[in-house]
Structure 1
Amino acid sequence: SSAWAINNAGVVVGLNHDGSRQNAMQWENAQESVLVTQTCCSGTSAQAMDVNNHGVVAGWTNHSNDGQSGAVIWTNGNKQFLPGLQAGSNGSFASGINDLGQVAGLSTNQLGYQHATLWSNGTVTDLGRVAGFSASFAERINNAGDVVGQSSNGFLTAMHATLWRDGQIIDLGSLNGGADASVAKDINNAGQIVGYSFVDPSNYNSLSKAVIWSDNLTAINLETLIDVQDPLYGKASLAAAWGINDLGQIVGWGWVGGQQQAFLLNPVSSVPEPESYAMLLLGLAGIAVHRRKTQK
C-alpha cells in the first residue's frame, strides 16, 4: 500500500495492491475503506491521489467495473468520472483537488497531446504548456486556483517545473539556470512551491536536489540552506520535496550515510530583521535549515 495525501481531518488516501490489481483506498480513524475495488482482471488499476478538507477525493482508474476509465472524484464514496478534453477519450488523470472542488491533472487534447487540465464548476480547460514543450502534467492545485506540475517533451532532459496562475504559464526553471530538468510537486495556499531538480538530466542515474520556489519564484536548493552549526551539515542530501502545507512544513526524501530516509522540515521562528530568515528543522535528525524571506 501507499499513502499519497492527507487532509486537515486526518483522512488519508492512496492505494493498495493485492498482487494482481491496484485499488484506490481511503483511511480514516484507523479504518480502511476501498474507494474502488478492481475485480475485472489482472493488471487493472485505480489510485486515490488527493483529498480536500471536505473529504472529496481525486484520482483515477484505468478500467472500472462499469467499463469506464479516466479521472474520477469520490464524494462520500460515490464515484464521478470527469470529462476529458477530447470527447470519448479515456486518457485523463486527476492528481490534485482544492477546497473549492477544483481538480487538476491531465487529459488528452484534440491533437492527441497530454496536457495539464483543470476541472472547475463543470467545465474542463486545457491549461497548455510552456513554449517549446509538447506535453504537460498538473500535480496539485491550491485554493487560489494556482496549479503546479511540469511541461515536458516526454523524456528527462526536457522537463521543466511549471506554474499556471491567473491565465499565465510560468516556466519555474531549475537549479542550473534552466539547463537541467525540474519537477514541481506541490503548492500551498501561500503560493510556496516544492519539488526537485536533476543535477545531470542526460544521465538517468543522476542525483536530484530538493527545491523550493517562494517569493520571487526562483529555484532554491533546500540543501544549501542547512544551518552550518547543525550536526548533519554536509552529511545529508535532500533529494526531493514532495509536499508543503500551509504551516510551511515540507516532506520528502533524501540520503544520510548512504541510506534513504524520509524527511520533515518544520519551520521555527527567528529574530525579525529587514531581511529575516525563517528556520526549518529537518526531521531526519534535527537538521536546521533556513529559508530567505522577503518582508511584506
Structure 2
Amino acid sequence: MFYKDFISWYIYCLLYLRKDKLGDLWAGYITPGKPYPHEHINILGDYPVSLYLKTSSRKRSTSCLAALVALPLMLTAAQAQPIFNITDLGTLGGNFSHTYDINDHGQVTGISRNASDELRAFIWDQTNGMQDLGTLGGNYSSGRGINNQGQVTGISRNASNESRAFIWDQTNGMQSLGTLPGSNFSRGGDINDHGQVVGDYTNASDELRAFIWDQTNGMQDLGTLGGNYSSGRGINNQGQITGRSKNASNKYSAFLWDQTNGMQDLSTPLGVNNSSGIDINNQGQVTGISINASDEFRAFIWDQTNGIEDLGNIPNYMSQSSAINDRGEVTGTASIVGFSERAFLWDQTNGMMDLNNLIDINDPLFGQVRLTGAYGINNNGDIIAIEHDFWNNGGRQTRAFLLTRQQVTNNNPTGVSEPGLLGLMGLGLVGMRLATRRQKAGT
C-alpha cells in the first residue's frame, strides 16, 4: 500500500513545513505503520525501494523536501500499472461458475452449475450473457478454449457416459471429435483461429497422450518425450503446441511441438524437478509452471531467444501461470498452500501484480470481490478470473468475473482525484519555497 503511505507522508510534510503557523492544531507526524529502524520512520511503505528517514526536526525538514520533489515521480510510476473494471458473469442458475478462456471479442467460455445442479459448458458475451452449450447426450460438459470465430472446445459426456472432446459453434452446436482406436476418453484443451484443436486422450494401454485435431486430418497422436505420458494444453495460429510430457527419466517436462520438429523438451535449461507448458501465443512464447529444487511452484515464460525466465512471485507466495497474450502479458494464480490465493497479472514493466490491487476504485464491485485466480487474457489485455469462496460465505462458492482494461491507465488507489493530486503538488511547490526561505534565514 505504498501509494497511500506516500500520500500520508506528503500531507504530513505540508503540515510540518507550516507547523509554526498551525500552533495547537499541529498533531504530530503520520507513521505509515511499517517496521522501521530505531528513531526512523518509513515513508515509502512496501514500495520496492524502501526509504527510512531520521525523525529529528532538521532531518525531517530535509526529508519533507525530498518527498515533495519525489511525488510526481511516484505518480508516474503508479500510473504505469493498468486498471480494470470488473463484471460478474453470473451463473446458469446454480451457485458455481468458472472461466477458462477469452477471445479478442470479449467472448468467454468455461463451466457453470445450472438450476438442476448439473455442470454445463457456457459461452458468455456482453449482449447475450451466459448461454448453456448443452452436452453430447450426457449430464456434463465444460468449455476450455475459444477462438476468435467463437468456436469452443472442451469436454462432454455422451449418452453412454463416455467423455469426449468437442467443438461447438453457433451454427452446428456441439459435435464430438471422437477419439483414436482403443480409446475411451478424449478432452479438448484449446482451439486456434483455424479451428485446430489440441487436447489429450487415453490410448489402448490407458496412457494419456496429447493430440491435435482438424477437419481434414482428424485426430493425430503427438507422441511423448520418451515416457508414457503427454498432454496438450495450448495451440497458436501457427499450429505450435505446448503442454507437458514424461521424459525418459519419468519426469514431467514442458514441451513445444510443431509439424517440422515434433516434440521438443523445454525444461532442460530450467534445471527443475518438473515443468508444464500451459499456453502459447502467436509469437511462440510459452508460459507454464515449474517446480524448483525447493518444491515451490513458479510461473515461467519461454522463447527461442531467451529461453526460460522465472516470473518471480508475489512476496511469500508461489505462482502458477494460466495464459499469455501476444503482448507477452501473463495471468495466473499466486498461492500460499492451505491459506490463500491471489489472481495475478505479469508484464515486463511491472513484474507480478496482484489483480485485486488493480480494480478501479469507482467500480461498484471494488472491495466486494477477492480474485483468487486468473485464467485467461486476450490481446486487448482483458482478463478472466474467479473468486473462490474458501469458507462458502453466503453459499457463493466459485464465481466467474471479467476484468475489462481501461484504455487510459490511472492507478490511483488513494481515492484522491487527479485535480486533487495536482493541487497537492502545487501546494508542495509552495511548501518548498517557504522551506527554502526559512533555511536561508537560518531558521
Please indicate, yes or no, whether the TM-score normalized by the shorter chain is above 0.5.
Answer: yes
1:21 shift after superposition: 2.6
Structure 1: give runs of 5+ residues left out of the alignment.
227-231, 269-278, 287-296
1:69 shift after superposition: 3.6
2:184 is the counterpart of 1:90: yes
Correspondence for 2:256:
163
Q: What do you get for the CA RMSD once the two structures are aligned?
A: 3.0
Deviating 4+ runs (over 4 angstroms): 37-40, 65-68, 283-286
CA distance in 1, matches of 2:136, 2:166: 14
Structure with greater Cα Rg? 2
Letter matched to residue 353 of structure 2: L
The one of the two structures with greater contact order (alpha-carbon pairs below 8 A, sep at least 6) is 2
SS of the residue corresponding to residue 133 of structure 2 reads strand
2:358 is the counterpart of 1:263: no
- Matched-pair contact (CA < 8 Å) for 1:54–1:99: yes
CA deviation map 1:180-216 (0-9, x unaligned) = 0111100000011101111358xxxx43011111234
Letter matched to residue 25 of structure 1: F
Structure 2: give runs of 5+ residues left out of the alignment.
1-96, 359-443
Q: 2:326 aligns with which of 246, 253, 258?
A: 246
CA distance in 2, matches of 1:239, 1:69: 30
2:311 is the counterpart of 1:222: yes
Decide whether aligned partners of structure 1 residues 98 and 200 sit closer, same or farther in structure 2, where only a CA change above 3 A counts: same
CA distance in 1, matches of 2:266, 2:321: 15
Decide whether aligned partners of structure 1 residues 175 and 208 sit closer, same or farther in structure 2, where only a CA change above 3 A counts: farther
Correspondence for 2:141:
46
Please state which structure has a larger fraction of its residues in strand. Answer: 1
Letter matched to residue 98 of structure 1: N
TM-score by length of 2: 0.52
- Matched-pair contact (CA < 8 Å) for 1:161–1:174: no
Correspondence for 2:130:
32
- Matched-pair contact (CA < 8 Å) for 2:253–2:275: yes
CA distance in 1, matches of 2:148, 2:299: 27
Correspondence for 2:113:
17
Correspondence for 2:279:
186
Decide whether aligned partners of structure 1 residues 117 and 134 sit closer, same or farther in structure 2, where only a CA change above 3 A counts: same
- Matched-pair contact (CA < 8 Å) for 2:162–2:185: no
SS of the residue corresponding to residue 45 of structure 1 reads strand
CA deviation map 1:16-55 (0-9, x unaligned) = 1347532111111161100025985xxx431100000000
CA deviation map 1:38-78 (0-9, x unaligned) = 985xxx431100000000000111x2358664010001161
Q: Percent same amino acid among aligned pairs?
A: 30
SS of the residue corresponding to residue 36 of structure 1 reads coil
TM-score by length of 1: 0.76
User: In terms of mean alpha carbon deviation, does 28-37 or 180-189 score higher?
Assistant: 28-37
Please state which structure has a larger fraction of its residues in helix. Answer: 2
SS of the residue corresponding to residue 128 of structure 1 reads coil
CA distance in 2, matches of 1:130, 1:217: 22
- Matched-pair contact (CA < 8 Å) for 1:22–1:45: yes
CA distance in 1, matches of 2:293, 2:124: 38
How many pairs are equivalent?
A: 254
Decide whether aligned partners of structure 1 residues 52 and 9 sit closer, same or farther in structure 2, where only a CA change above 3 A counts: same
Correspondence for 1:151:
245
Alignment of 1:117-136 (within 5 A): 117-123=211-217, 124-131=219-226, 133-136=227-230
